[in-house]
Amino acid sequence: MRGRSIFIMLAVAVALGAVLYVTTRPKPAPPVEPRSFVWLFEMGDLRTMSISLPQQGKSETWVKHQDQYWYFDKPQGPKVDMQRWGGGIPLILSGPGANRRISASASDEQLSIYGLVNPQMRIKLALQDGKTIDIIVGDSTPDHQAYYIKLVDSKEVFTVDYTWYDVLAQLVLDPPYPPPGQQ
């Protein structure tokens, strides 16, 4: 009898342990949605980049020469100072990850609200295969953590991180010319 009682108590303890385990284990995290890209191409395909800040009346254009270095697109334009360029500029232009999609088909009124009618920045990218990608960047979001962005020929509006915009604006405001004597 004593052995049978111990066996029953052990079975109840195991059953309670199993119920406790099943009811208190953490739920699996919901699947993470893959990040959307506003556009996407291989960074090695990029041949020309133009960035303008229309409201400030400033712009810069860079061209990738056959030596695979970037140069300012001016008569006998100097080579870009790679110390200041950082080498990541073609990468961040090859496909910015969208923080989120704001609208699949924004109305003209929405485009105006997002600052996309009178944009903060315009970007034109020319690829090796002859394709071009035209982008406009509007105002910052109310929390100043992102900027509204869209392709010129699309009504789809996304947001991208403010740091993406800041890096590209800095290229125009303080161009990465080589130091004097190294031009």
DSSP 87-99: S-HHHHHS-PBPS
pLDDT tens digits along 20-53: 887 888 888 877 777 788 999 998 999 999 999 9
Encoding tokens for residue 183?
A: 């031009």
**What pLDDT sits at residue 139?**
96
**What pLDDT sits at residue 183?**
59
DSSP 129-156: TS-EEEEEEEEEPTTSSEEEEEETT---
**What pLDDT sits at residue 15?**
83
- Please identify every stretch of the chain with a pLDDT value under 50, giving residue numbers as ranges: none
